[in-house]
Amino acid sequence: MTAAEAVLAHQHYVSAVDVLMGIGFLQFVHFQSWKKGRVGFLEETIQAGQAKIRLSTALFREWAVAKGLTPSETRYVRLAPGGPVELRFSESGNPDVERNYRTHYLSPEIPAKEREKLEEKLSAPEKPVVFQVLRDSECSECGTAIDKGDFLMMEAERPLCLPCAGFGDEFEYLPAGDVALTRRATKYSGRSVVVVRFSRSRGRYERRGIFLETTAIERAEQECTLDADARARDRAVAAVRRQDQDRELVAQMTQQIERLFPGCSRAEASDIAAHTAVRGSDRVGRSAAGRELQDGALTAAVLAAIRHRHTNYDALLLAGVDRHAARERVAEQVNAVLTAWRHPG
């Protein structure tokens, strides 16, 4: 039960689903598809026969009981236009099998109040999202054309226009950007749904805004108008504070890079630190590991800098060479500079 022990140590609760993912029988992406209603029942995505599944889950339950963990049944539902829909784990729908999957085992060390919050969180359905589409589509229910740049929701792999999904004319799209307006409007709106769009360059969905009740947005806009000056002053103060924090982070990174690579000049170490630490850049220096000055993260930043500054890597990319192939071509040069910086003289 190594997988179960690892999950329990990390999050203080564990379920049969966690174990199946931990031992490689179930992929997280398939689990997410099931939670969104794209799969009829979970077991059809588990990459193991029924005998192995039943044996694995039975051994897990025996382990949980022997360890003195607290069982807690969790509802698995997804939100649909007609209301919450119960998710099914097995093809048969056998109550005992379903209960075994639904049950989470909690550490007895979790305080009662935290346990209540945890059980509520585990039972909460996946929040639906609205997609801003990159190509033309059509509502599967009413046949309305959904043009590129418009919005749709997915219901069990079926595209729905927003009115068919339950978000009609009383809702309005609020683009991201004004944090105060978004926060206030969300507070006043009885219902809300996040808007995402796929970024081809980053290979992931990114938040673009939120759909809220029009009356909530109007109320929030009025409030924001009244205290705009005060918030502008607060933003100015916060901006100065962030600049101070960023300068301190760059200084600390520069010192750490010099320690790891004594052959790297102070000027270049400072340039590397400043580049990788740019706020909002998604570079390694802004990752949690980078901000904690971990050796691995800073070494990755130095490797990237060497690749761009001391080899013809960028020229290869401009010439159309695949990124992976370009890295292989310059690997020897990168390693030579890295060795010289680590062991100067």
Q: Is the pLDDT of residue 156 over 70?
A: no
Domain count, the chain: 3
Range in 80-89, 162-171, 279-288 with the lowest mean pLDDT: 80-89
Domain co-membership, 216 together with 263: no
Boundary (domain end) residue, out of 94, 123, 152: 123
Give the pLDDT of residue 81.
64
User: What mean pLDDT do residues 298-304 have?
Assistant: 93
> Can you read off the two tokens belonging to residue 40?
């009829």
Domain co-membership, 110 together with 157: no
Q: Is the pLDDT of residue 79 over 90?
A: no
- Residue 75 pLDDT level (bands cut at 50, 70, 90): confident
154: domain range? Answer: 129-226
> Can you read off the two tokens belonging to residue 342?
């680590």
Give the pLDDT of residue 74.
85
Q: Who has greater pLDDT, 312 or 114?
A: 312
Q: Is the pLDDT of residue 1 over 70?
A: no
* CA gap 308, 327 in Å, rounded: 10
Domain co-membership, 76 together with 162: no
Strand boundaries in the chain, DSSP class E: 13-15, 70-73, 77-80, 83-86, 103-106, 129-132, 137-138, 145-146, 151-155, 158-160, 171-175, 192-199, 204-213
Q: Is the pLDDT of residue 277 over 90?
A: yes
Q: List the one residue out of 30, 63, 62 whose CA is nearest residue 45.
A: 30
Give the pLDDT of residue 169.
86
Give the pLDDT of residue 34.
86
Question: CA–CA distance from 59 to each of 2, 52, 63, 266 (Å)?
Answer: 12, 11, 6, 57
Domain co-membership, 71 together with 143: no
User: What mean pLDDT do residues 97-111 have?
Assistant: 89
- Residue 237 pLDDT level (bands cut at 50, 70, 90): very high
* CA gap 72, 85 in Å, rounded: 20
Domain co-membership, 139 together with 215: yes
Q: Is the pLDDT of residue 82 over 90?
A: no
* CA gap 209, 194 in Å, rounded: 6
Helix segments in 67-138, DSSP class H: 95-102, 112-123
Q: Is the pLDDT of residue 182 over 70?
A: yes
Asked whether the beta carbons of 138 and 159 are under 8 A apart, the reply is yes
This prediction has a pTM of: 0.52
* CA gap 340, 338 in Å, rounded: 5
Question: CA–CA distance from 231 to each of 178, 237, 322 (Å)?
Answer: 11, 10, 47
Domain co-membership, 209 together with 286: no
- Residue 124 pLDDT level (bands cut at 50, 70, 90): confident
Give the pLDDT of residue 110.
84
Question: CA–CA distance from 105 to each of 46, 70, 117, 266 (Å)?
Answer: 21, 5, 15, 53
- Residue 25 pLDDT level (bands cut at 50, 70, 90): very high
Domain co-membership, 116 together with 142: no
Asked whether the beta carbons of 199 and 206 are under 8 A apart, the reply is yes
Give the pLDDT of residue 301.
93
Give the pLDDT of residue 154.
83
Give the pLDDT of residue 217.
95
Domain co-membership, 53 together with 10: yes
- Residue 223 pLDDT level (bands cut at 50, 70, 90): very high
Domain co-membership, 110 together with 138: no
Domain co-membership, 240 together with 327: yes
Q: Is the pLDDT of residue 123 over 80?
A: no
* CA gap 150, 161 in Å, rounded: 9
Domain co-membership, 133 together with 218: yes
